[in-house]
Amino acid sequence: MLPSFVLLPTRGVGEKRPFSEVDSLEEAITDIDWVALHTKVRNGSVGFGVQLQVFTKNYQLDFEWTKSSEDTTRLSMGMDEETDESDDCVVMILYSTVRVLHVVNLFDIRRKGANCKMTPQYFDNTVRGYGSAVLNFATYVASALGFMLRLLDNAKWVEKPPHAFGDLISLHLELDRGFGYYHARGFVPKQLFDALAIDGRLTKLEYTDAMHFELSWVHMLCTTPVDELEDSIRAFRTLIPERLQTHWRSGFLDEHTSLHWVKVVVDKLGAIDNGEHTVRPGKELKAMSFREIFQNREALMNSKPKLDPQEVEFAYEECRRLPYKNVVEKITLVKTTFVHENGTYAELLPQKVEGTYTAMPHVTEHPVGTDIFVNVLSPP
């Protein structure tokens, strides 16, 4: 564990410490000139420890930053020297030309965490915050460099909790609150971003619109009675941004496949209605939304006949990805932040409306976290 951090008030407000002066002393993340550090790493390498707090727990993450090619550098959290595994717990690739920070394998922490170079070490599925700690650090570094964050939405349960809905964490969270793991941290589908962006950029208002589109789509899928989804999906197509319409039209046949799975769920709920159930006495179960099914999943899994959660998962996931159906496997997500005139950074995040599950989440602006400290161990 690094010692307690001491801030060094030797510079004016907003003045960065020249990297040539950096030794093993600890610095607030805002006091380091990340552009200069990135430039120097392209001629060598540097190791550093990062300390921050998530969910009231303190984390230390040990990184190495190295050059990969003329255009790329590599930020990685390795394994303890005692382990035989040679790969890393976390890898982030920074592409200078396109100005992207790509998080490659964030959730390998959950598989290898007992041997990752971090404190506390990850041992079981009950501890939270490791992914958030890495993403909070990555968000500030990307902001300081003027880079976009990018990753694949492939977060899966390591040890699936009882009655978890599906293998994907984001799917479970969308049905529960209206947005997934990465969406909660300000990410949007890359296809949506590209469809709305001009010269690869979105204004804060345009980014808010992109997030509202995603939230509206998920909200409609989660709260519409499943026997009304076909009409609602077709009506929603008129709201798709024009430059995204091509993707939707190219996946039109997939729409029929998706709606087939919806019909499977509707028929199964109808069969349960004819059997013995205690979920919604006196009401047709096919009038339930995906979210209501999610909320009553334990009773439905034990009903006669039984509702297979995998059928519901297929139906929801197929519909969920309809606007992005030409994407192979998981959806690529991106995130950008915004800089204020005073040099501070802001991010846009969805917010759940408390006290109701029927209201669509809204988007609010938050400052990018800066309560992060860095101890440079081996300057180039």
pLDDT tens by residue, the chain, 380 residues: 332 222 222 333 344 443 334 444 468 999 999 998 898 888 888 888 898 888 778 888 888 999 988 899 999 887 766 555 557 778 899 999 999 999 987 766 656 556 677 777 665 555 567 888 889 999 999 999 999 999 988 777 767 776 677 777 888 889 888 999 899 999 998 888 887 887 888 999 989 988 998 899 999 999 999 889 888 888 887 777 676 666 555 444 456 667 777 888 888 887 777 666 566 666 678 888 999 888 888 888 777 777 777 778 878 887 887 777 655 456 789 999 999 999 999 999 999 887 776 788 999 999 999 999 898 765 44
Predicted local distance difference test score (pLDDT) of residue 241: 67
H-type alpha helices, the chain: 34-41, 109-112, 130-145, 169-177, 190-196, 204-223, 229-236, 242-250, 252-273, 290-295, 297-301, 309-320
Predicted local distance difference test score (pLDDT) of residue 82: 56
Predicted local distance difference test score (pLDDT) of residue 121: 66
Asked whether 216 and 239 are in contact (CB, 8 A), the reply is yes
Instruction: Check residue 273 and report its DSSP letter.
Output: H
Predicted local distance difference test score (pLDDT) of residue 369: 93
ω into 350 cis (within 30 of 0): no
Predicted local distance difference test score (pLDDT) of residue 3: 29
Half-sphere exposure of 136 (CA within 13 A, CB side): 22
- Alpha-carbon span 178 to 214, nearest angstrom: 10
For residue 32, what are the β-bridge partners?
Answer: 17
Q: Taking the model in full, what pTM does it have?
A: 0.84
Per-residue pLDDT of 243-300, as tens digits, reads 666 655 544 445 666 777 788 888 888 777 766 656 666 667 888 899 988 888 888 8
Predicted local distance difference test score (pLDDT) of residue 145: 96
Those residues with Cβ within 8 angstroms of residue 245's Cβ, 6 or more apart along the chain or in another chain:
237
